[in-house]
Structure 1
Amino acid sequence: MKRLFAVLLCVLVAATLAACVGRDPYLDAEDPVATITLEDGGVMRFRLYLNEAPNTVANFASLANRRFYDGQVFFRVVPGVLIQAGSPTNDGSGGAGYAIKGEFSANGVDNTLSHLRGTLSMARLNGEQNYDTASSQFFIVQGNYSQLDGSYAAFGTAMDVETLDTLDRIANRPVDANNAPLAPVKIASIRVDTHDLELKPVEKIQ
């Protein structure tokens, strides 16, 4: 009887360990929070969705927490549509030196986030052949823009009214014919609080 009990206990422990090994570490995790602090004192906060775009979130968090975005500007403003940042040269060119897979439905990834007002999403090159060209540049949607759903990797949403007010203030600044703001707003810092969760290494495309 004792022998049978010992065997059953071993089977139970093995099954439990197997279940733990195969379990998604993000399944019950608290979503990270990104805080964008501007040099003029404005603040925007975003909830980042690990279960919708895990590699995109990991990439953004990695770049933010190693100060990649500090000192950059929102170089593109399309009033009523979006504001864009993440260019190391502040002119819309360049990235982090690598690309990541586009986490959206047209690229075979189940991402249900919609590009509603206050959505944080990754910029990439246009065209179906460029689905996997996102790197560091991101945009924030000012209005509802569902036309982007399924073709761009949305990965965060605004958390409060202050964020939306700050978004509007940036989006309503005067721009030139190329949608470059005449007086760009500079980012003091972007930091991502992962709530002590260790994110998976970023899967990069060199």
Structure 2
Amino acid sequence: MSERMLSDTGLDLLFRAARTHKGWQDRAVSDVLLQAVYDLAKWAPTSANCQPMRVVFAKSQAAKERLRPALMQGNVDKTMAAPVCAIVAYDLEFHEKLPELFSQADARSWFAGKPDAIQENAFRNGSLQGGYFIMAARALGLDVGPMSGFDKAKVNQAFFPEGTWQVNFLCNLGYGDPDQLPPRDKRLDFDQACDIQ
């Protein structure tokens, strides 16, 4: 066992005891903590260090009201009650930042003028970063409630009308209410999901 391995406490915090929260305590999340979540998540790997994830933190009541019409009915109350809803997006112009982010090659030329490659890589690497974002939030003591129950076009129209950023998923952030958690659902066993060849 590696000395670099997290303790059981750390593994529980990030994975085994962590839950997807739908009910929230009435506790604010500071802007400083939101910045810390991003500043931790940004260090995780993406291909060619492309870092396409972009995040809008809908924290004010006005921002949440702009989001409300895009939410599926079952996601409205929990999103309005959460201290913050992170709109996790990806940037279709991520390649314009590659000259400063990736010094080993002219990575911008791999994407410029190639919309299919841009879309595929922005979505894949933005999704990777979205997963890192969830883990960073948990590592810093927040609970999360990621969601895909929303109208993508309405979110993009309300928050990204210029069209270069596209919403990937939503993630409520705050301090979860454990009394509102249902029993934990089963996960697939190794033999059901993996194959060593």
State the TM bucket, normalised to the shorter chain.
under 0.3
Structure whose alpha-carbon radius of gyration is higher: 1
Relative to its length, the structure with more strand (as a share) is: 1
Which protein, 1 or 2, shows the higher relative CO under an 8 Å CA cutoff with sep ≥ 6? Answer: 2
Under a length normalisation based on structure 2, what TM-score does the superposition of the two structures give? 0.26
TM-score for both structures, normalised by structure 1: 0.26
Structure with the higher fraction of residues in helix conformation: 2
